[in-house]
Amino acid sequence: MAGAEPFTGPIGNPVAIATGRYAAILGATPSKGARSPLLWNAAFRAAGIDAVMHPMDVTTADLPAVVAALKADPRFVGGAVTVPHKQAIVGLLDRVEPEAGRIGAVNALYRDGDALVGANTDGAGALSQIEEMVGGPHALMTRRALVLGLGGAGLAVAAFLAGRVTELTVANRTRATADAVAARLGAMVVDWPVGADVLSKIDLLVNATTVGHKDGPAGSPVAAADLDVLPGSAAVYDVIYQPDVTPLLALAAGRSLETRNGLGMNLDQAVIAFAKAVPGALGMDAVRAAMRAA
């Protein structure tokens, strides 16, 4: 590639920088099929920006050196972080956004002057979708939310809902995990499995477990009889999008409740990360349209 310069950090795949600016996705093996470069490169083209996102295969041992090399290169605008580096990278950055700090994990990077900043757009993507589903941030403030499951996705969603809903409740199979998360977020904890007595007081239900996923446990994380006690104004959000309609969403739709799956979250986390890395380059709707087309 004429004029290209090899990236000098210790990565496991060859990367040559031939553009005025560039982004990167850091992970164990993103060169073997990560989707982020496809999405980001479509947005760069739509914005007319001379930039490319490169996958960078990084070992845990080499992560500090790679982050230092990216930080020292003013052409680097930001990018994405995937497994297994979402937690380890936190301590290598100049700062992290408050929600990412509460979650303890970063999946997006952006430059602020000479500083490299970490964000968690998994939660931001879900928040964007949930706000749209319920009628905006002001409507969300009136909701009593329950988050089921506190793995990576559930913790991210809970962190972004904290302070944005009237009341936040969390539940997890391992009670100690739920207690620790609740203490950090100022949430309430209920026992697993969640029953009708809890659901009757909830008007925003979020499933962040794998129950109902095409490759996960079958069924719904909430029994049909218990779901019947949700108020008629309730909304149900499922981070799962394979299948499009999970058993939980099918039950909720049967009651004519507002529902949404996690497909939009999956896209919006990339849209929000791009907007942080290249602020003002393209409106959010235009970024979303470019990435959706890709």
* Catalytic positions, written as ranges: 86
CA distance 79 to 58: 14
Are the beta carbons of 271 and 287 closer than 8 angstroms? yes
Between the alpha carbon of residue 91 and those of residues 64, 71, 106, 201, 263, the distances in Å are 9, 14, 10, 39, 30
Are the beta carbons of 165 and 144 closer than 8 angstroms? yes
Burial class (CB in 10 A: 0-12, 13-18, 19+), 13: middle
Burial class (CB in 10 A: 0-12, 13-18, 19+), 223: middle
**Quick one: angle between helices 36-47 and 263-277, nearest 10?**
50
3-state helix, strand, coil in the chain (%, to 5): 40, 20, 40
CA distance 171 to 232: 22
